[in-house]
Structure 1
C-alpha cells in the first residue's frame, strides 16, 4: 500500500522549513515527513522512532542526504534526554504508521491475520497478553475509555467467554469474534475501536504523548514550533489542554465560560491558532486513514519551561492497576 504522510501540506505550511534550521521528526515511521522537509530546504532532520523496523528506511535517507539526516532509535518521550542543542521544530504524528498496519506479523490490523501483538517497540506485554489476562471489568474499562466503544461491556463479555474455550492469540480470530458478537453498523468494522484501545494500552500511547509534550517544551529553541497531528479524541484533548495551559489559559468551569488568564509562571508557548486544522476533503478521499486527523500548532516563547508542580490542568487517563497485571 502507498505510504501517505497525513496532512503533509498543512504540516509543511506550519513548519515553514528554513535553511540551516534543525527539526525533530518525533515519529519517523516510513519517513514521509522527514523526506519532504529535507527536500524543501537545506536543513537538518533528526528522526526518532522506537520501532527497530524503521532502520532500513532511515538508512536510505541517510545515504541520500548525508549529515543532514540521522535516526535515533528512542521513544519520542525521551527527546529531552538526548543531549541535543535546542531545535527549531518538533513534529509528532500520533498514530500507528501505514508500515505497521500493512505488516500482518505486527498484529496491528484486524484486516490481516497475524499474532495479536501490536507492540511498537517489540518488547513487553502484547495485546494477546491483555486479552487473555485482564478481567471482564478491566477489559470493559479499557475498551470504553481508550476505544470509546459504546458496546464495551458486550465486547469484554464475549472475549472472556471465548478465551475460556480457546486462547485468543491471532488478529483475525479476535476480529471475527467481535464481528459476530457486535454485528456491523455502517462501513466501520466492529473490531475497530477494540483494536484501537488495545494498541493504545499496549504502547502506553497517551502516557508517551503526555511525556513527549513536556520533552518538546524542554528541547525547543525560542520561536521553535511544536506541531502535533492526532487521530483520537483523547490524544487531541491532551494536546489542546497542554497548549492552552502553557499559553497561559485555563478552561472555564463550563463550555460557555470564557478562558481565564493563568496566574502561574510566564507562558512557555503562544498559539498562532486556537482551533484545530483538519485534512482536506481531497486527502480524506485519497487516504481514508486521515479522516480523523487533527493538527495543532504552538510556538515556543523565551520563558523557562514549566516544572511538573506548575502543570495543573493536564491529566492523562491511567490504568496502572491494569498495567500491573501484564
Structure 2
C-alpha cells in the first residue's frame, strides 16, 4: 500500500530537499524528557537517512529516554547529553543540518538550548505543537496532526521516501502515533490516521505487540505506585470538575521510581464521568515540579498549562513545569482553576 500525502507546501518541499542534499554531519534532536513520539520520530528519521546513504547521522537527547522504550531498534545509539555533555555540544556545533523533532522552541531541549541556538547548522523543525518559535530555517509545523511521527510519515511520503519505511521504521512511527493518542483513544478522530496505521502494518509493524509493550506491561513497583497515587494522592475538585494527583520525591523513591513509571497515570481520573480534566504533579527535584494535564471534550488544558506553568501542548494533552516547592505549585494551580470554569 502506497499512501498519498500532500502535507508539504512547495517551499517546505524545496527546503527539505535542500537540507537532504547538503553534505556534512546531520544531528537529530528531540525535547527533554523524551516520550514515544519524540524517540519514535527520531529513530525513524535516523534509519531513513542512513538507508539513503547519509552515514554521519546521530540522534541526541537532553536526558535519558524512558526504559519502556528500550525495545525500539537503534535506541542504544542515542547520545544522551546528561551523560555525555561535551560530545553532544560538539556534535551540534559541527553539524551541517540539525533536525528538530517534536518540539518547537529551543527551551524545550533544556540544557542544550544554548548549544542548539548557537550552532551555525541549517535547522529543520518537524513538529505538531502550537505556536512554533521561528528559530529554525525550515519549519514544518502542523498542530492539527496528532503526533510528530504521523507528521514525519506524511513528510517522507511527500518527499518520495516512503520506500525507506521498512518494518523497523514502521514500528518506530507507530509507537509515537500510539503513545501520543493513548492508543488512539483521544485526539484520533481523523480517518487518515487509520489509513496510515494500515500502511505501517502492511510494512511489518505489529500493532498488537506494540500495544502489549506500551500499554499492557508494567513492573510490580509501577503498579503499586499507580495504586498508591490513585488511592491516597488523588483529590477531586467537584466545583471545577478536576482531578489532581501529586507525588513528592520521597513517595517516588519509596516505589523505586524510574523515568516512565508514571506514564499514563494522568489519564486514569478521566474515566470518572464527573472529571473534565486531570492534573498530575511530580516532584523531580526539591524545587522543580513536572506538570502533566489531560482533558475530555473541549476543555483546553493547553491554555491552562501555558498560563499556569509556562508550558503547552494540545487541547486535550499538555504539560508544563514549575520552579518552586510542591506546595507552591499546588497553590498556584488552585488559584488558576476558577479562571477556567467557563470552559466546563
Same fold (TM > 0.5): no
Which structure's relative contact order is higher, taking Cα pairs within 8 Å and 6+ residues apart?
1
Q: Whose strand proportion is higher, 1 or 2? A: 2
